[in-house]
Structure 1
C-alpha cells in the first residue's frame, strides 16, 4: 500500500513510503519503544497487532528508535553489554563484576572488528558479514531479536554494535544513560542462551564512505567524533600522526550527552550539528579514531531527525597511516 505521510519532526516534508504490515497480536503499537519510521532511507516495514484471527502479511515491521529509556525496556529484548576501554582495562572484567540482568557481553575488539593489518583497514575495521553473523549467533542473538546495547560511557562504545545491527536491517537501540541509568540490582553470572540463527548480510555501500570520499569535504560534511584535543593535533599513543582530515568539523561525540550520560534533547542536538553545517539535507560522513565513536554521532543524527549519514570505518587510524594524506591541526 502506498500512502503519503509527513516526514519526521524536523523539517516537515511529505514522503511516499511502502509499508509492509505484519500482523502480530502480541505487539502493542503504543509502546514508546517503537515508532513509525517514515523517513526516506529508513526501514519502512512495521509490525502491528491484527484483528482476532488475522494471520500472514498484509504488511507494518517494528522499527525501534535508535535511543530508548530504561522505562522502555521490555521482556524479550536482548541486552548487550559493550563496555570497552582505551586505558587497558578489560570490558569483560567490568561485565563479570556486574551487568544488567540477562545481558550478554559483546567484545568490541573480538566480535565487532576484524583483525587486519591496521595499514589496510585501521584499528577497528568492520568484520566480514559472515564473522559478524557467527559472533551474534554464538551469543544467542537471532534475526528477529530486538537488541538494546549499553556501556558505561554514554553509549560511545555500544553505538558500534547498534549501528552495525541497524544498517543490516536488525532492530537495535542504545540504552540512554547506559548502565548508570539502571537502578535495579546487577548480576554477575552470564546468561545461558542457545545459539541462534543470524543471517549474514553485506554492509550496505550507501551507509559507508571510502577514504577518498572522506577526503572530499567539498561534496560532503565530514565530522570528527574525537575529543577536540586530538582533532587539533594533540599527541596520543594510538596513531602515527596527529590532527584531522582537512576540512572536517570537530563534533565530539561526548558533546551529544548531558552530564549524566544521557542524550541531549533532539532540538539541542540539531543546534549542535547545525554548527557543523548539518541541517538534514547534506551528505554526512562520520569518522573518529577507528570507526567506533563515529557511530555515536551517526545515531545522534538519526535521533535528532537529521538523516542517517555514512561511516568512514578506517577513520583517523587509517588516514594517519598514509603519509601521502594531508592533515590539519
Structure 2
C-alpha cells in the first residue's frame, strides 16, 4: 500500500466511513509560521498541528527538532481527532517533505493507516478542492501512542551505518558540501554519508516522482533492496521524506523501513567530538 494519496483519492476517502482525520502540518524553516497559512485557508475539517510545539520536543543537545515525548504526541494526535481505526491524511504546503514528518511519527507511534497528500495543499487547490477558514473542533480521538514502530539511530549508530550501509543526507547540496550552513553550528556532513536532497523526490509542481523514477535515483546513490539504509537531514524533519520515498520506490517496506537519525546534523554539528566532512564526496 502506497504511503501517498492523490487529491482525487482523498475526495473519495472523505465520502466514506469512517472519514479520515486531516492534519495540516504546514511549516517553513525560514518562515512564515504555518499557522498563518492555515488561518488563510485549509482543507475542510483539517486540524492544524504545529511542528515546533507538537511534533517535536524543545530544541537542545538532541537537535533542533528532537522526537516528542509519547504523552505530548498522544495529546496532540488525540486533540486532532486521531483514532486508532480511522485513517489519517497529513498534508503540507506542497512537496510532502514536512508532511512526511507527521506520517513518520504516526507510523513510529503505531498507527496502521497513514497517508501523505501528494502535492499537498497546492495540489488540492489546483484540482478544485474546497477550502475554508473555519477551524474545526473534532471529538477527541482514542489513539494510543506506542513508540517503536519505526527504527531510529543515535549518532553512533548513524556513523556506523555510514560505514557499513548507506546513510542518505536529505539536505540541499551546498549544505551537504559545507559551502554554507544557515542554521546549525558547523557546516559539512557525516563522514561517509551520501547526498540525497529531499527536493529531488518531487517534480517541479511538487508531486512525488513515480516509483520507478525514485528507485532509479536511489540506485544511483548506491541503495539496493537489501543493504541497510538510513537518513538524516538538518533536524530530522526532511529526512522523513527519504524514508517515505524509499517505501514509495519499493526499496523498503512498512515491515522493514529505512532508519531515521532524528537528531540529524543539528545534533551532530553541536557535538565537538564528531567529525564534519566537507566537499562533494561521501568521504
TM-score, normalised by the number of residues in structure 1: 0.78
Which structure's CA Rg is the greater one?
1
Question: Residue deviations 1:43-69, cap 9 Å, x none?
Answer: xxxxxxxxxxxxxxxxxxxxxx21111
User: 188-197 vs 238-247, which deviates more?
Assistant: 188-197
Give the Å deviation of 1:99. 0.5
Question: Residue deviations 1:115-146, cap 9 Å, x none?
Answer: 152x2x10000011121111111121121221
Question: Residue deviations 1:137-156, cap 9 Å, x none?
Answer: 11211212211111113011
The residue that corresponds to 2:3 in the other structure is: 66
The residue that corresponds to 2:266 in the other structure is: 317
SS at match of 2:157: helix
1:233 aligns with 2:175: no
The residue that corresponds to 2:281 in the other structure is: none
- Higher fraction of helix: 2
Cα distance in 1 for partners of 2:213, 2:31 equals: 34
The residue that corresponds to 1:208 in the other structure is: 152
C-alpha RMSD over aligned residues = 1.2
Structure 1 segments unaligned to the other structure (5+ residues): 1-34, 36-64
Give the Å deviation of 1:211. 0.6
Give the Å deviation of 1:169. 2.6
1:268 aligns with 2:213: yes
Structure 2 segments unaligned to the other structure (5+ residues): 279-283
Question: Residue deviations 1:223-279, cap 9 Å, x none?
Answer: 000101100113233111001001100000110001110111111100111111111
TM-score, normalised by the number of residues in structure 2: 0.90
Specify which structure has the bigger relative contact order, considering alpha-carbon pairs within 8 angstroms and separated by 6 or more residues.
Answer: 2
Cα distance in 1 for partners of 2:56, 2:243 equals: 18
Choose from 87, 91, 98 the match for 1:150.
91
The residue that corresponds to 2:57 in the other structure is: 114
Cα distance in 2 for partners of 1:88, 1:70 equals: 26
The residue that corresponds to 1:159 in the other structure is: 100
The residue that corresponds to 1:169 in the other structure is: 110
